[in-house]
Amino acid sequence: MLQALEKNVTPFTLECLDGDGQSHLSHVNMLRCATWVHTCRMDIHHLRCFDAVARELHFGHAAARLHLTPSPVSRAVKELERELGVDLFVRKHHEVVLTPAGVALAPRARAVLADIADITLIGQSTATDRARVVRVGGSFHLPPAYFDEFLELVKRVAAPRAVDVVSHPSAKLVSSVEQGELDLAMVYLPVVIPEVSVLETARLSFSVAMKSDDPLAANEHLMLEHLRDRTVAIASPRSQPAAVNGLSERLRREVGSIRHLEDTDMMSIANHIRHSDDVTLSLDLAMGGTSRVFDDVAFTLRPLHEPSIHFAVGLVWRTAAIATDRVLLSLVDMARERWRNGPESL
Say what the pLDDT of residue 186 is. 97
pLDDT digits (tens, 9 = 90+) for 54-91: 988 888 888 877 767 788 899 999 999 998 999 999 99
Instruction: With 0.85 as the threshold, say if the pTM is over it.
Output: no
Contact between 25 and 15 (Cβ < 8 Å): yes
Say what the pLDDT of residue 67 is. 66
Q: What is the mean pLDDT of residues 201-216?
A: 96
Higher pLDDT pick, 192 / 219: 219
Say what the pLDDT of residue 128 is. 52
**Is the pLDDT confidence value at 282 over 90?**
yes
**Is the pLDDT confidence value at 150 over 80?**
yes
Higher pLDDT pick, 28 / 256: 256
Handedness of CA 248, 249, 251, 256 (dihedral sign): positive
Contact between 193 and 178 (Cβ < 8 Å): yes
**Is the pLDDT confidence value at 5 over 80?**
no
Contact between 289 and 231 (Cβ < 8 Å): no
**Is the pLDDT confidence value at 240 over 50?**
yes
**Is the pLDDT confidence value at 208 over 90?**
yes
CA 136/CA 334 separation, integer angstroms: 14
Most confident among 15-29, 139-153, 227-241, 245-259 (mean pLDDT): 139-153
- Rounded to 10 degrees, the C-alpha dihedral 205/208/212/215 comes to -130
Residues of the chain with pLDDT > 70: what percent? 84
CA 72/CA 36 separation, integer angstroms: 23
Say what the pLDDT of residue 277 is. 95
pLDDT digits (tens, 9 = 90+) for 284-293: 888 888 889 9
Confidence of residue 43 (pLDDT cuts 50, 70, 90): confident
Domains of the chain: 44-123 (1.10.10.10), 132-201+313-345 (3.40.190.10), 202-311 (3.40.190.10)
Average pLDDT of the residues of the chain: 83
One-character DSSP codes across 96-138: EEE-HHHHHHHHHHHHHHHHHHHHHHHHHHHS-TTTPPEEEEE
Residues of the chain with pLDDT > 90: what percent? 47
CA 246/CA 190 separation, integer angstroms: 9
**Is the pLDDT confidence value at 36 over 50?**
no
* CA-based nearest residue to 244, from 254, 233, 255: 233
